[in-house]
């Protein structure tokens, strides 16, 4: 009886209806696809098609293996196994990952398709746990945990949560769960278990590498590299909730220009439109967008505008979009998906016609005025109750396809901008999935609290996103909500966060500051209000001087940051990196979650405790480190206590590199 067939770049196993194929898919990498019956489904949600690779294949009666560079997959039907068990090895024949076997009389199944009556499957895939393994990545979760071993994670998006199901293992491999279904994963001490609530197939990708940088490069080649960051992504971005009319935007810009404080982007937030789904300026508040953009451009400032995927029932476009089938469907109950300043439904980003429709509206009403960068908010999307099983996309049910929404949202704008001839595209977005990076995605960490506890979580979130293949990431400097501009404790937090933001991929000040002010439409209807002032002079002269200092530090970093963006574009390297990314041979580097590398040369240790004026920093082995503030030199491989008055933070330069920063921080 023959269980295996093969070609030059794959081995396929068939038994009892299941078809399981393992194929070479990029350098040192394999893709695994299985269906419980019927034809093999090779559709892609994140992976890019790869050229066939000549692999080393060995096939026997009850075993088979395929080797692609540094990785081997071994099929085993021996013993009590009534289905092939997969084990993955590196080039030293060390086990990287192994499916659970039958377990003798336990009759376990590593690949368990549990059918719905008359429908598709609930899928569970189980691997043996590896003792001592550390796991990093998986996107952005609001938790202060860097090593994910022992964690249970929801595979779903929420406001401030982005599920990007790729991880880097300390054992020298990377793993992508190539399934956009709503589900979960448990990195347990006994097993690792992946679950999809509704799916048609199993699909994952695994790569072997000698270090995290090699793994990241192979992963970004398989899912797509980020474009080159435009020049205006390298400096300071000014934003608040919300500049509600044209004169206010210009007043702020003129003041920055008058003070000779450089800003690259000024952001016009939501509800500059009449209704969600209108995709245009409200002419009562923004009477001459063309003149506004031209004046801002004369100051060297790009304009970013917010776009929401919600469409209000009262929007001028609602009836047409509903008639054309461009909106997300509600399976049960009223067609109401979010109640905020009206009854809203979401446009369906998985529908190419819907993407084109929304882009054309934005092209006509924004792009033609010279606005070429967009804030794609609400990208999860933010269903009022996150009842994933009650909504349906053009691509399928949200249970099956839900996690691709933000990727397709970014894709619609990226493809529209590209068709208009735009190069070097960056759009700010509140969520991402695997492959989002190739569409100019700059993810920010959502509507987060203005607290030190939250601040620490953002450092972890940024590091995890970089390892998940999303090199462009940022936060609302100071947090989004509950920050009162007159509160001295909040002002201190803002300064510490501002210093951190200087060494993020993008430096952007934003927040819904207190005290708020109500706003009204011209017809008297109350609309979304505005937060307190959030410009750097809004917090007093002493704080202004510190923030201006760090804006100028960011300018000093421009050439260096540009080089980091080239690396992200050409190799997929994160801009903001874990210490172990640069120093994988240093055991202490794998546990550091409140300090990080900004590129290869700059070690950053934000001050993350209230009222602290110093902090403890670990300096990695095998090189010397220069404290940027003083020029003092330290040997690596030790912990040091560093002074950090409110106007500075610990920044160390590797082997004296980037010496122009000495004395400036």
User: Residue 647, exposed/middle/buried by CB under 10 A (0-12, 13-18, 19+)?
Assistant: middle
> 105 to each of 75, 100, 192, 346, how far by Cα in Å?
21, 14, 21, 49
pLDDT at residue 459 tops 90: yes
- Read off the tokens for 174: 């990377």
**Band of pLDDT at residue 82, cut at 50, 70 and 90:** confident
Averaged pLDDT, 7-19: 96
Arithmetic mean of pLDDT over the chain: 97
- The correct CATH number of 231-307+353-382+397-571 out of 1.10.10.10, 3.20.20.80, 3.30.470.20, 3.30.950.10 is 3.20.20.80
Overall average pLDDT of the 309-331 stretch? 98
CATH 3.20.20.80 range(s) for the chain read: 231-307+353-382+397-571
Q: Residue 192 corresponds to which tokens in the numbers above?
A: 């690792």
CATH 2.60.40.1180 correct for 578-661: yes
Counts of helices then strands in the chain (DSSP H, E): 12, 44
CATH number of 4-222: 2.60.40.1760
For residue 594, give both structure tokens.
């409140």
- Cβ atoms of residues 155 and 167 within 8 Å: no
- The pLDDT tens digits for 276-297 are 999 999 999 999 999 999 999 9
Residues 292, 360: Cα–Cα separation, whole Å: 21
Residues marked as catalytic: 377, 380, 447
222-265 pLDDT tens trace: 999 999 999 999 999 999 999 999 999 999 999 999 999 999 99
pLDDT at 51: 86
Taking the CB of residue 542, how many other CB atoms lie within 10 A of it? Answer: 12
User: C-alpha distances in angstroms, 115 versus 122, 128, 331, 521?
Assistant: 6, 24, 21, 52
Angle between helix axes 488-502 and 452-467 (nearest 10 degrees) is 20
**Is it the case that residue 53 has pLDDT exceeding 90?**
no
* pLDDT tens digits along 349-394: 999 999 999 999 999 999 999 999 999 999 999 998 899 999 999 9
- ω before 265 within 30° of 0 (cis)? no
Which region, left, alpha or beta, applies to residue 501 given φ > 0 means left and ψ of -120 to 50 means alpha?
alpha
Place of tokens 């990287």: 96
Give the residue range(s) of CATH 2.60.40.1760 domains in the chain.
Answer: 4-222
pTM: 0.97
CB 82 within 8 A of CB 156: no
Q: Alpha carbon 226 to chain centroid distance?
A: 12
Q: Is pLDDT at 1 greater than 80 in this prediction? A: no
CA distance 219 to 224: 8
The Cβ of residue 663 has, within 10 Å, a number of other Cβ atoms equal to 10
Largest CA distance in the chain: 82
Q: What b/e readout covers 192-204, taking b as 16+ CB neighbours within 10 angstroms?
A: bbbbbbbbbbbbb
Q: What angle do CA 7, 10, 15 make, to 5 degrees?
A: 95
CA distances from 331 to 189, 277, 279, 335, 401 (A): 39, 21, 26, 8, 15
Nearest Cα neighbor of 32 from 13, 55, 17, 5 is 13
Helix, strand, coil shares of the chain, percent, nearest 5, are: 25, 30, 45
Give me the helices (H) in 224-325, please.
Answer: 246-258, 289-298, 318-323
Four-residue CA torsion sign, 24, 30, 31, 34: positive
User: Taking CA 554 as the corner, what is the angle to CA 551 and CA 560, rounded to the nearest 5 degrees?
Assistant: 170
Distance of CA 557 to the CA centre of its chain: 23
Mean pLDDT of the region 298-305: 98
Q: Which residues of the chain does CATH 2.60.40.1180 include?
A: 578-661
């Amino acid at each position: 009886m023959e269980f295996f067939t093969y070609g030059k770049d794959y081995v396929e196993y068939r038994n009892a209806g299941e078809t399981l194929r393992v194929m070479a898919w990029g350098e040192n990498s394999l893709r695994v696809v299985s269906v419980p019956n019927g034809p093999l489904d090779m559709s892609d949600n994140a992976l890019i098609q790869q050229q066939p690779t000549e692999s080393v294949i060995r096939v026997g009666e009850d075993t088979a293996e395929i080797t692609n560079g540094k990785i081997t997959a071994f099929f085993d039907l021996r013993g009590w196994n009534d289905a092939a068990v997969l084990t993955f090895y590196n080039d030293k024949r060390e086990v990287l990952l192994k499916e659970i076997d039958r377990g003798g009389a336990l009759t376990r199944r590593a690949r368990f398709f549990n059918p719905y009556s008359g429908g598709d499957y609930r899928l569970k895939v189980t691997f043996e746990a590896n003792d001592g393994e550390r796991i990093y990545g998986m996107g952005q979760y609001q938790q202060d945990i860097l090593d994910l071993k022992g964690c249970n994670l929801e595979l779903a998006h929420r406001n401030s949560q982005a599920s990007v199901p790729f991880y880097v293992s300390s054992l020298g491999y990377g793993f992508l769960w190539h399934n956009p279904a709503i589900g979960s994963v448990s990195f347990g001490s006994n097993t690792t278990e992946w679950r999809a609530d509704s799916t048609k197939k199993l699909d994952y990708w695994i790569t072997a590498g000698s270090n995290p940088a090699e793994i990241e490069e192979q992963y970004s080649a398989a899912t797509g590299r980020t474009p080159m960051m435009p020049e205006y992504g390298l400096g300071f971005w000014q934003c608040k909730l919300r500049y509600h009319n044209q004169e206010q935007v210009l007043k702020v810009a003129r003041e920055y220009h008058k003070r000779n404080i450089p800003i690259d982007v000024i952001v016009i937030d939501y509800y500059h439109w009449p209704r969600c789904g209108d995709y245009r300026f409200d002419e009562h508040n923004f009477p001459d967008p063309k003149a506004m953009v031209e004046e801002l451009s004369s100051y060297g400032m790009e304009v970013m505008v917010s776009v929401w995927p919600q469409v209000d029932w009262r929007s001028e476009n609602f009836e047409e979009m509903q008639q054309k089938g461009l909106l997300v469907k509600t399976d049960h109950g009223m067609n109401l998906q979010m109640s905020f300043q009206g009854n809203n439904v979401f446009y369906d980003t998985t529908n190419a016609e819907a993407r084109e429709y929304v882009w054309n509206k934005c092209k006509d009403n924004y792009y033609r005025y010279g606005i070429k960068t967009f804030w794609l908010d609400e990208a999860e999307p933010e269903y009022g109750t996150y009842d994933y099983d009650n909504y349906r996309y053009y691509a399928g049910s949200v249970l099956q396809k839900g996690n691709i929404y933000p990727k397709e949202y970014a894709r619609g704008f990226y493809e529209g901008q590209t068709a208009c001839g735009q190069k070097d595209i960056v759009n700010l977005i509140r969520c991402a999935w695997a492959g989002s990076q190739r569409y100019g995605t700059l993810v920010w960490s959502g509507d987060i609290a203005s607290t030190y506890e939250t601040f620490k979580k953002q450092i972890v979130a940024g590091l995890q996103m970089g390892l998940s293949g999303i090199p462009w990431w940022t936060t609302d400097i100071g947090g989004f909500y509950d920050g009162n501009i007159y509160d001295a404790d909040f002002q201190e937090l803002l300064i510490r966060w501002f210093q951190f933001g200087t060494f993020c991929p993008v430096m952007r000040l934003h927040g819904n500051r207190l005290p708020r002010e109500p706003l009204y439409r011209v017809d008297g209807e109350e609309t979304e209000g505005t937060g307190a002032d959030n410009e750097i002079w809004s917090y007093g002269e002493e704080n202004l001087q510190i923030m201006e200092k760090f804006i100028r530090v960011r300018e000093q970093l421009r050439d260096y940051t540009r080089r980091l963006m080239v690396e992200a574009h050409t190799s997929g390297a994160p801009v903001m990196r874990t210490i172990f990314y640069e120093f994988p041979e240093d055991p202490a580097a794998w546990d550091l979650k409140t300090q990080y590398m900004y590129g290869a040369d700059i070690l950053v240790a934000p001050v993350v405790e209230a009222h602290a004026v110093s902090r403890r920093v670990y300096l990695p082995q095998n090189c010397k480190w220069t404290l940027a503030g003083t020029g003092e030199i330290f040997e690596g491989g030790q912990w040091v206590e560093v002074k950090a008055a409110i106007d500075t933070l610990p920044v160390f330069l590797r082997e004296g590199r980037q010496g122009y920063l000495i004395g400036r921080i």
